[in-house]
Amino acid sequence: MAAIILAGGKSSRMEGANKHLMEFRGETMIGYLIKKLKTVFTEIIISTKDENLYQEYDVQIAVDDFNHQGPLSGIHAGLMASNDHHNLVIGCDMPLLNLKLIEYMLGQQLPDLLVPRINGQFEPLHAIYSKECIIKIEESIKKEQYKIMDFWPTVEVKYIEEAEIKEFDPHLYSFFNVNTRDDYNQVLKVLNRLD
């Protein structure tokens, strides 16, 4: 199974810095993510609109060439590039991955889409998508329906519930997004505590 890292965001709240290329524990945030994911996955794909940013990494690059800017087209590009039917899709700004939780998700009977659900809220950028989603995403984009969840009624979706998630990640760190410098500093503090 492949892991697809979505790296198409504009980092608009990071005061001009490209957040996933910021220094992060001796490397970049995306480099840190890649290193962690390589302990579980043999294929890592970065889905991006700018392939030149990631030439130094020993991973496959999938170029999102839809005019639309957003995660839905990035998911599509990653799924198209993957050699695997099921794929973990993860946001590039979620460095607090819990590999035991991911392995638990991979061990489920996988539908077209497996999504964590916490307090009624979905986590579509920490989910497992199958290639069955490709055509449905294309149809959604053609209809100018750009929200990730717009195509869900057309595929088989299963949820990983909060109680299950907390068995592996009691603080739900896996779903923490780094959007601001305060978030960045907070994540580093959490990692230092976990060490």
Query: What is the assigned CATH class of domain 2-194?
Result: alpha beta
Can you give the residue ranges of every domain in the chain?
2-194
CB 61 within 8 A of CB 51: yes
pLDDT at 70 over 90: no
For helices 71-81 and 133-142, the axis angle rounded to 10 degrees is: 140
Residues placed in the known binding site for GTP: 6-8, 19, 64, 93
CB 96 within 8 A of CB 177: no
Burial, 18: exposed, middle or buried (Cβ in 10 Å; 0-12, 13-18, 19+)? middle
At 10-60, the pLDDT tens digits run 555 555 567 888 888 899 999 999 999 999 999 999 999 999 999 999 999
Residues placed in the known binding site for Mg(2+): 93
For residues 124 and 114, give the distance between their C-alpha atoms in angstroms, rounded to a whole number. 9
How many percent of the chain have pLDDT more than 70? 95
Total-model pTM: 0.94
pLDDT at 9 over 90: no
Residues placed in the known binding site: 6-8, 19, 64, 93
Across residues 151-168, what is the average pLDDT? 98
At 129-151, the pLDDT tens digits run 999 999 999 999 999 999 999 99
pLDDT at 161 over 60: yes
For residues 4 and 42, give the distance between their C-alpha atoms in angstroms, rounded to a whole number. 11
